[in-house]
Structure 1
Amino acid sequence: MGIKHIRKAVGGDRPRGGARTAARRRAAAALLALPVAGALLLTGCGAGGGSNSSDGDKSGGRNLPLPAPAGPTGGADRADPSGAPEATPSSGNLSTFALDVDTASYGYARRTLAEGRVPDPATIRPEEFVNGFRQDYQRPDGNGFSVSVDGARTDDGRWSLVRVGLATRPADSERERPPAALTFVIDISGSMAEPGRLDLARESLDVMTDRLRDDDSVALVTFSDEAETVLPMTRLGGHRARVHRAIDGLEPTDSTNLGAGVRTGYATAVHGLREGATNRVVLISDGLANTGDTDADTILERISSARREHGITLFGVGVGSDYGDALMERLADKGDGHTTYVSDRDDAFTVFCDQLPQNIDLTARDAKAQVAFDPGTVEEFRLIGYDDRRVADQDFREDKVDGGEVGPGHTVTALYAVRTRPGASGHLATATVRWLDPDSRAPHEETGSLETGDLRDGVWSSPNSFQVTAVAAYFADALRSGDSRRRPLPGVPTLGELASRAGSLANVTEDKDVSALATAIGQARDLDICTGDCAVR
């Protein structure tokens, strides 16, 4: 999908929209997530500490609500059933969206490029590219968020890139966590019979069983042409042998009835619900539903009901060279959870050492962000990505409207293209994040702001983390070039220049994730992704 929703200083927002294109045929599914799953609940691998950078009052470590950003609200709830946001302006100087820490789009694009294939532009979500990298935002002292806002001018007229960075407290391996009640819903379709797939899953689940705490609980649901609860919610203390027997009995069978797997998984989770525990469904699949109920809305309704009534959230792990991106992402969205994509063992370690521990213990529910651009200094702006996470401006403080769930150690990045007015000087933007306490459901807010004088002179003379964010966004934009509705980002470099920038950043930062980004950009360049009148080459 391209970036279609353009705003002027009197331009508004578009609410959260529909689904993406349907999944493609199954080629192979790779169950790579579980080799390190045993460690995921024992330690957190989150980022380091920091202090709260906000100016808001505090009370007992909780952030008190702050005044709303200045400016009118606008926009109305709309949903495009095709999933494509419309380039339709509406009134207001606000941009409002639900927080999103998904990274599946970036992971799947890397896998596709490594195989010498061009990613489908419909699977490219820029926010999942920019959120695929560690950030150095300051961290709050307690629960809630810190808010950082910075920006840099591009070499394209009066356009700048403005970054809004949100961060939660660091994940703390020493902090006592609640017990975990995890329902693993695992694809055991025929392709899982290939060596290194289901056999590896069995071995990994055995290791996990031996390493979880006695007060943790595990349930196991499998699905192929039908779904089956092979292990109800079972407390590990005194019952590990029973869990091992269930794992050893896993065998591959036929096709993929994902709908049945999801319904049975949630029914199992509800039946084994534990008060005071983190109740979560972990879905591991390629997302290609080809048997039984394949209608996403019907499947989603079951997840939504379990979420509303029981607070069960979903963590989706996508696998396979062909991947049902649209369905897996919608499942996670409706399940108040997250989705990621695993292509190899390194990815699996990152997912289950870094990401899943952060998702076990929530720090914020229904989190939303709203950015107010000053019409005196800003002529035009647009949010890069978050196409299906938009929220109507007037619903920012409507806590019944769904937001995003965020755990400790997370950062969330939103990038804007902003054109300032000629000779503009003064206040540029105010960013506010609002969330509900996961236990009390009390609302809290935090805010940050940016002045025109704080804009750096150039993107490529900015701090390394800002440059990585820009490279990731430009790369995602290039991969969307096949979408005729796309509007290229300002100051766009060539893919060759992007690869060089990423390579230099990888050397300076010694960050393997940035090195992987440079490799992926080089692969896209070699595939000549951009052809015809494409703005990026």
Structure 2
Amino acid sequence: MMYHHLSDAMLDDYLRDVPVPVGLVARLKQTAVPNDAELDELLRSPPMPDGLVDRLQAAIQDEILDESLRQTKVPEKLLVRLRTIPRARRRSAWRRFAVAASLLVVLFSAYCGSLSALLAAMRPKQNRDTTLTIIELYVDPTHSSLLTMSEADPTTIRFAPPTSAEMAELPIELARLDLTPALGPAGHLLQEVRRGAPLTEDVFLMRRNTLGSPQTNDQALPELSHVRRRQIAGVDLPLAPGYDRAFFLKSGIHPPVFPAAGQPTEAIQVPLVTRTDSVDLTRRLLLEGRTPSPSDIRVEDYIAAVRYGLQASNDQSLVLYATAGPSIFGRQPHHMLHLGVKAPRVQTATSTHMSIVVDVSASMRGDDRIGAVHRAFEIVLRHLGPNDSLSFVAVNHEIVRQVDFLPASGAAQLASMIRDLDPSGGDNLAKGFQAAMSLAFEAEVAAGSARHVVLITDGQAAIGDRDAARMRDLVATGETFSIRSTFLQLDRLISAETVPSSTGLEHASAVSPRQLPWRLVTLATGQSPVVARQARLQVAFNPQAVLAYRLFGRGPTAVTGLADVGVETDLHSGEEASALFELWLRPNGTEDVGWAEVHWTDPATGSPLTTERMSIGRSDIAVSDDETLWPLRAVAIVSEVGQRLSGIGDFELLNGRRFSQRKKPAGWKDVLEQAVGVHPSAGEQSDFQQMVDLIRQLEELALRGPK
């Protein structure tokens, strides 16, 4: 009861001393903190702002777009341009002063020029008289006559006789005559010719080679450069991932291709090239101490210039060969794949004797005509059968060489003799043709055998009417005894067609250096040398085993550009065609690397044919230089020569699908060492030895410098 009378202060003191039960504070705090259900209810109560959901969805889409942009490859050139810090422009007082001074000088000069022209137009023009004094011989000069012409009236001349005090006017009609220009060197020469000057007897003119004409038959003229259409042989891969088309468009060189399953880059059709135009051009220019322009070089021509010992089949069908191994050039380790196609050789139906006359006059020196004859003989000699024979006559103004009734076994002897021929002197084709016809008559052949007399010239020989008539009589007599005569005129710029001959003979035909051997083979065998029409090579690579591949040569030409081009060609008897690839294999790839096959049309029946598909496995690729076959080393060397002359570098793969091109060495020492160290089997190939000699000439030219 006494507690009811306690004051508030005493009650507060008393309550402060009362202990708080254990856990009461925690329970009170817990009641103050809301639970998850209450928080969810509180969060649901505020209204949602308009557009918040759309903004959140847009933010998610922006993050996805940012992630895709981070994966996009930025071009290196763009990064270099973005990183370049532009130089800050500074205003220079001296520069502004120089510009202002220059403008002042220009404006002042223009003002002065305009003022001078205005003053000159206002100034009156004074007429001056032109006086001509006529001095008569044996007369006192003081009594000479005067002729005066005024600029005001140029048609009137005033005449003052010596006895007259006043001048009389003498009207004269003046006619305008254009001055004849002074004669130049050509005008003087023509003037002397009209007067009957004997130019061929002028010792001074003979020393100076008038008009560039040689005065002796042994004197060589500089060769003219022919402009002609190139053979279409380019390959343009389709627009697909893994193929750097921009690099191809810029450089005209096939870059490394990264194949992918189901993409067009997985397979490629390769033209079978057999021409050697670039090699022939290089040989001709090296004789003059020059090298060809890189744009005139085709790497595939160099690959086709060498035979790689491929064996033909016995069933008259094409044979496909494949060799692969490590590359012998370049810093980055990679492999090379050589695919070779061998055509069968046409067999002669009957025994044949050929008497061939070759013009070796001075005119055959130009345009590598004698070289074309040499290469033609190498091909035709390989087509002679055991019962065939050949006679050879080389003639200029006289018979230089003559070989009688050479069998097929003596082909090497005749090839060496033709290689040593040096065109010079004049021409006497009638004498050579008569000797060849006599050998054809004396040839011992079996009944039913064919006999041919072939004359090869450049069409520049001047044959008189008497010699031409004698040659026609020989042709007619030979036809009586079944001896056929053929006249072939070498012309690099013309296709095979009948043309008028300078001799007036009806049997003359123009042939290019490439067509010459096959015309001779046709005569030797009696049948067409074409054994496969529309031949094409198809190659496919397994993306699981091949990281990248690159085709040698076959770039675009100035004629075709990037248009679709045909990859089909005709193969002749015994021809070889090759294709070369660089391969970058995956370290842990599968065994199957790819496959290859050849398609062609039978020229006799027109039916399509295909070789058996050749599988290329990882186990078929040599792992060291000692295991590499000599054909692969040989084709790597000749392709290296073509690439260095055309300015193609070594390709190296970088991370991802990136690559770089490293410039090749300027010299030829390393290439020559590799060429000399090839297997002796390559040394037996005459065309490979000629390529080694070409490399030596390039090395010598690089050491002494071009002329």
1:521 is matched with: 695
Alignment of 1:182-261 (within 5 A): 196=424, 199=427, 211=440, 214=450, 237-238=479-480
The worse-fitting range, judged by mean Cα deviation, of 144-153 and 90-99 is: 90-99
Q: Does the alignment pair 1:488 with 2:683?
A: no
Q: 2:526 and 2:549 mapped to 1: Cα distance?
A: 32
- Pick one of 157, 160, 163 that aligns with 2:338: 163
Match of 2:515 in 1: 315
What is the DSSP-based 3-state SS (H/G/I as helix, E as strand, rest coil) of the residue aligned with 2:274?
A: coil
1:472 aligned partner: 638
Partner of 2:673: 500
User: 1:480-537 CA distances to partner (integer Å, 9 max, x unpaired)?
Assistant: 12xxxx3436797862122112123375644243333222212212322899xxxxxx
Task: Tell me the CA shift for residue 438 of structure 1.
Answer: 1.0
Q: Which moved more, 1:522-531 or 1:115-124?
A: 522-531
Name the structure 2 match of 1:380. 548
Classify 1:113/1:189 alpha carbon distance in 2 versus 1 (closer, same or farther; 3 Å). closer
Q: How has the CA–CA distance of structure 1 residues 175 and 157 changed in structure 2, closer, same or farther, with 3 Å as cutoff?
A: farther
C-alpha change, 1:500 and 1:407, in structure 2 (3 Å) is same
2:281 to 91, 98, 108: 108
Partner of residue 620, structure 2:
454
Deviation at 1:434, TM superposition (A): 0.9
Q: Specify every segment of 5 or more residues in structure 1 that has no aligned partner in the other structure, as ranges.
A: 1-25, 30-72, 225-229, 251-255, 269-278, 286-313, 318-336, 339-351, 532-537
> What does residue 35 of structure 1 align with?
none
Counterpart CA distance in 2 for 1:468 and 1:149 is 14
Deviations for 1:218-251, whole angstroms, at most 9, x for unmatched residues? 7999767xxxxx999x89632899959x89xx9x
C-alpha deviation, 1:75, in angstroms: 6.9
Q: Distance in 2 between matches of 1:529 and 1:151?
A: 34
Give the TM-score normalised by structure 2.
0.42
Is the 1:358–1:409 Cα contact (8 Å) retained in structure 2?
Answer: no
AA in 2 matched with 1:458? S
The answer to whether the 8 Å contact 2:253/2:555 transfers is no
Partner of 2:185: none
The amino acid of 1:477's aligned partner reads Q
Counterparts of 1:109 and 1:356, CA distance in 2:
31
Cα distance, 1:437 vs structure 2: 0.8
* 2:222 maps to which of 17, 21, 27: 27
Between the aligned partners of 2:585 and 2:677, the Cα distance in structure 1 is 30
Q: Which position in structure 2 is the counterpart of 1:47?
A: none
The whole-number CA distance in structure 2 between the counterparts of 1:409 and 1:458 is 31
Alignment of 1:81-100 (within 5 A): 85=252, 91-100=264-273
Give how far 1:444 is off. Answer: 0.4
Q: CA offset at residue 167 of structure 1?
A: 0.8
Other structure's SS at 2:323 match = strand
Q: In the superposition, relative to structure 1, how do residues 117 and 355 fare at CA in structure 2: closer, same or farther (>3 Å)?
A: farther
Give the structure 1 partner of residue 582 of structure 2. Answer: 417
The partner residue of 1:361 within 496, 521, 529 is 529
Please tell me the residue identity of whatever aligns with 1:123: D
CA distance, structure 2, for counterparts of residue 126 and residue 530 of structure 1: 25
> The residue matched to 1:528 in structure 2 has which SS?
helix
CA-to-partner distance for each residue in 1:118-137, whole Å, 9 max, x for gaps? Answer: 23223322222222222232
C-alpha offsets along residues 274-297 of structure 1, whole Å, 9 cap, x if unaligned? xxxxx9965247xxxxxxxxxxxx
- The answer (yes or no) to whether the contact 1:478–1:530 under 8 Å persists in 2 is no
Matched with 2:128 is none
Relative distance call for 1:357 and 1:242 in structure 2 (3 A) is: closer
Q: Percent identity?
A: 16
Partner Cα distance (2:633, 2:342) in 1: 18
Change (3 A) 1:355 1:110: farther
Aligned with 1:153 (options 326, 348, 351): 326
Matched, 1:265 2:498: yes
The structural deviation recorded for 1:380 is 1.9
Displacement after TM superposition at 1:191 (Å): 8.3
Change (3 A) 1:87 1:214: closer
Q: CA RMSD for the aligned pairs?
A: 5.7
Q: 1:425 to 1:266 in 2, by over 3 A?
A: farther
Summarize deviations over 1:127-183 as a string: whole Å, max 9, x none. Answer: 2222222223242221221111121123644521100011122454x5459999x9x
Aligned twin of 1:406: 571
* Contact 1:170 1:408 (C-alpha < 8 Å) held by counterparts: yes
Specify which of 127, 132, 146 is matched with residue 305 of structure 2. 132
**Stretches of structure 2 lacking an aligned partner (at least 5 in a row):** 1-220, 225-236, 258-262, 367-395, 398-422, 444-448, 461-467, 502-506, 653-661
| Alignment map for 1:54-73 (pairs within 5 Å) | none
Structure 1 residues 282-315: Cα deviation after superposition (integer angstroms, max 9, x where no partner): 5247xxxxxxxxxxxxxxxxxxxxxxxxxxxx71
- For 1:167 and 1:280, the matched residues in 2 are separated by 33
CA distance in 1, matches of 2:703, 2:544: 39
Which one-letter code corresponds to 2:650 in the other structure?
P
Larger Rg over CA atoms: 2
Measured in 1, the distance between the counterparts of 2:481 and 2:458 equals: 20
Greater RCO, 1 or 2 (C-alpha within 8 Å, sep 6+): 1
Question: Please, what TM-score do these two structures have when normalized by structure 1?
Answer: 0.53
Q: Per-residue deviation at 1:435?
A: 0.9
Mapped to 1, the partners of 2:524 and 2:432 lie a distance apart of 16
Worse overlay, 133-142 or 159-168: 133-142
Structure 2 match to 1:431:
596
Q: Is the 8 A contact 1:166 1:412 kept in 2?
A: yes
Q: Counterpart in 2 of 1:120? A: 293
Please report how far the alpha carbon of residue 443 of structure 1 lies from its aligned counterpart in structure 2 after TM superposition.
0.8
Change (3 A) 1:217 1:111: closer
Structure 1 stretch 145-154 or stretch 117-126: which is displaced more?
A: 117-126
Kindly tell me: are residues 264 and 111 of structure 1, through their superposed partners in 2, closer, same or farther at Cα, counting changes over 3 Å? closer
Within 1, Cα distance between the matches of 2:327 and 2:600? 33
Q: Please list, as runs of the form range in 1=range in 2, the aligned pairs for 1:390-405 lying within 5 A after superposition.
A: 403-405=568-570
> Does the aligned pair in 2 maintain the 1:145–1:166 contact within 8 Å?
yes
Q: Greater helix percent: which structure?
A: 2
SS in 2 for 1:27: coil
Aligned to 1:311: none
CA contact (8 A) 2:346 2:573 kept: yes
Partner SS state of residue 150, structure 1: strand
Query: How many residue pairs align between the two structures?
Result: 368
Structure 2 CA distance for partners of 1:85 and 1:497, relative to 1, 3 Å: closer
State the Cα distance separating 1:361 from its structure 2 match.
1.8
Structure 1 Cα separation of the partners of residues 250 and 528 of structure 2: 30
CA contact (8 A) 1:126 1:476 kept: yes
Asked if 2 retains the 8 angstrom alpha-carbon contact of 1:221 and 1:265, the reply is: no
Shift of residue 264, structure 1, vs aligned partner: 5.7
Aligned partners of 2:254 and 2:551 also within 8 Å: no
Cα distance in 1 between the residues matched to 2:238 and 2:523 = 35
Q: Distance in 2 between matches of 1:496 and 1:469?
A: 18
3-state SS of the aligned residue for 2:338?
strand
* Counterpart code for 2:552: I
**Aligned mates of 2:527, 2:426 — CA distance in 1:** 25
